[in-house]
């Protein structure tokens, strides 16, 4: 019975549950980003470039077929996914965090030494770091 109790404790630890939730949310979010890129952004670029699919592009050297079009498709897909993540996730979250995070209030019990710029008590007459006289 002891091993089952240990296993139950392991499963109910916060780390395991948080990781499971993160994986599920990450998979769902990945599906949304993939759909956005595949169903909206790629056709938009295809309409502009007038080439909907590059997979048919290749060249042959000594009977070896080089499918550089597949590489172009993969590269475009990667760049679109990266741009989507950056502009629709990273930038908004950074903006939100910067609005929420406030600068800590200035500490009025210290001042900067004019010589070495160390923080010293406001009552100090001499810097404890560089021994400069402070007015």
What's the confidence (pLDDT) of residue 72?
84
Q: Which residues of the chain have pLDDT under 70?
A: 1, 14, 52, 103-107
Q: What is the pLDDT of residues 69-83, one digit of tens each?
A: 888 888 888 888 888
Q: Rounded to 10 degrees, what is the CA torsion of 7, 8, 11, 17?
A: -170
For the chain, give every residue range classified as CATH 1.10.1200.120: 2-102
Q: Is 129 helix (H, G, I), strand (E, B) or coil?
A: coil
Beta carbons within 10 angstroms of residue 42's beta carbon: 17
pLDDT at 64: 93
Structure confidence at residue 103 (pLDDT): 66
Q: What is the pLDDT, as a whole number, of residue 14?
A: 66
pTM check: above 0.85: no
Residue 84 Cα distances to 42, 93, 98, 123, angstroms = 12, 13, 21, 53
* pLDDT tens per residue across span 11-20: 777 677 778 8
Note the pLDDT of residue 62: 93
Q: What is the pLDDT of residue 106?
A: 60
Phi and psi at residue 66, to the nearest 5°: -105, 110
DSSP characters over 63-79: TEEE-HHHHHHHHHHHH
**Hey, which bits of the chain come out as E strands?**
59-61, 64-66, 110-112, 119-121
CATH of 2-102, one of 3.90.1300.10, 3.30.470.20, 3.40.50.1370, 1.10.1200.120: 1.10.1200.120
* pLDDT reported for residue 66: 92
């Amino acid at each position: 019975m002891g091993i089952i109790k240990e296993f139950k404790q392991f499963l109910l630890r916060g780390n395991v549950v948080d990781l499971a939730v993160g994986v599920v949310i990450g998979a769902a979010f990945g599906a949304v980003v993939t759909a956005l890129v595949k169903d909206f952004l790629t056709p938009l670029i295809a309409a502009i470039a007038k080439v909907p699919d590059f997979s048919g592009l290749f060249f042959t050297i000594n009977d070896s077929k080089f499918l550089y079009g597949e590489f172009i498709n993969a590269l475009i897909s990667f760049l679109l996914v990266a741009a989507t993540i950056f502009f629709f996730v990273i930038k908004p979250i950074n903006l939100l965090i910067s609005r929420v995070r406030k600068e800590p209030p200035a500490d009025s019990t210290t001042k900067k030494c004019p010589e070495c710029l160390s923080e010293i008590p406001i009552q100090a007459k001499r810097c404890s770091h560089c021994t400069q006289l402070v007015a």
